[in-house]
């Protein structure tokens, strides 16, 4: 599978860090491109320490101002794009078809090609503009997977809490994982 993981300047770098680590381990991922918005590393440095995000070896890293990447064209064969965390600014630009940077253009392409586009927004509360943008994107075919953790598995650490969201992202990418306890499941679901 070829994947794009886009990172924007919303809070939630821990989700990105843990998702990238899982993707790096997955035998099902052939290629993973990471796109960082201008504000992504700034917020990541605030949340994770001055180094910011650690990008696993083998992943290709891009800024948000290049069109010199394959996945901004529908002709390139990519299966899924995840934007995690997704700021409401980026979400709004995608909802209105701006296509003005790598992330917004790639998202536009994934929508038009009917490929999997997963947005992980992090904002609270929402105003009406944001709520309408969310609806517009759901109507356009995006999967809205907000960074809302669950607690029924009794997570023991901040990482466990974050993994309740990361597990759902991996599920929707079709990547096997046993990051969280599944409701009423007798055993961990690693197949
Ligand atoms: C520490 C910090 C945390 C932020 N958290 C959020 C957030 O959770 N959600 C959000 O939509 N924007 C958040 N922002 C604002 C975005 O970074 C800002 O709107 C930025 O322009 C988004 O640009 P981008 O989407 O290109 O990354 C945060 C900014 C800072 C400095």
The two tokens of residue 50 are 């001055």
Distances (CA, A) of 36 to 140, 165, 173, 176, 188: 24, 20, 20, 25, 33
Q: At what angle do helices 13-25 and 158-173 cross, to 10 degrees?
A: 60
- Ligand 1 centroid to 150 CA: how many Å? 23
Q: What stretch of H or E contains 10?
A: none
Taken in order of first residue, the domains within the chain and their CATH numbers are: 2-173 (3.40.50.1950)
Burial category of 96 from C-beta neighbours within 10 Å (exposed 0-12, middle 13-18, buried 19 and up)? exposed
The answer to whether the bond into 125 is cis (omega within 30° of 0) is yes
Rounded to whole angstroms, the maximal C-alpha distance in the chain is: 48
User: What is the value of pTM for the model shown?
Assistant: 0.96
Using only C-alpha atoms, what is the Rg of the chain? 16
- Ligand 1 centroid to 77 CA: how many Å? 30
Give the pLDDT of residue 181.
Answer: 84
Cβ(13) to ligand 1 under 6 A? no
Give the pLDDT of residue 184.
Answer: 87
- Give the pLDDT means over successive 10-residue stretches in the chain (191 positions): 98 98 96 97 96 96 97 97 98 97 98 98 98 98 98 95 97 93 70 39
The answer to whether the bond into 17 is cis (omega within 30° of 0) is no
Q: Ligand 1, closest atom to CA 88? A: 11
């Amino acid at each position: 599978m070829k994947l794009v993981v886009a990172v924007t300047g919303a809070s939630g770098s821990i989700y990105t860090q843990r998702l990238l680590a899982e993707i790096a381990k997955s035998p099902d991922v052939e290629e993973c491109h990471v796109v960082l918005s201008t504000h992504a590393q700034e917020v990541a440095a605030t949340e994770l320490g001055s180094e910011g995000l650690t990008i696993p070896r083998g992943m290709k890293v891009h800024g948000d101002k290049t069109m010199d990447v394959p996945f901004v064209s529908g002709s390139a064969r990519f299966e899924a794009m995840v934007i995690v965390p997704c700021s409401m600014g980026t979400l709004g630009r995608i909802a209105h078809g701006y296509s003005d940077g790598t992330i917004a253009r790639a998202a536009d392409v994934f929508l038009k090609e009917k490929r999997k586009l997963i947005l992980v927004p992090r904002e609270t509360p929402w105003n009406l503009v944001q709520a309408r943008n969310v609806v517009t994107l759901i109507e356009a075919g995006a999967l809205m997977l907000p960074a809302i953790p669950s607690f029924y598995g009794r997570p023991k650490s901040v990482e466990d809490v974050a993994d309740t969201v990361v597990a759902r992202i991996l599920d929707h990418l079709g990547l096997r994982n046993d990051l969280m306890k599944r409701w009423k499941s007798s055993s961990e679901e690693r197949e």
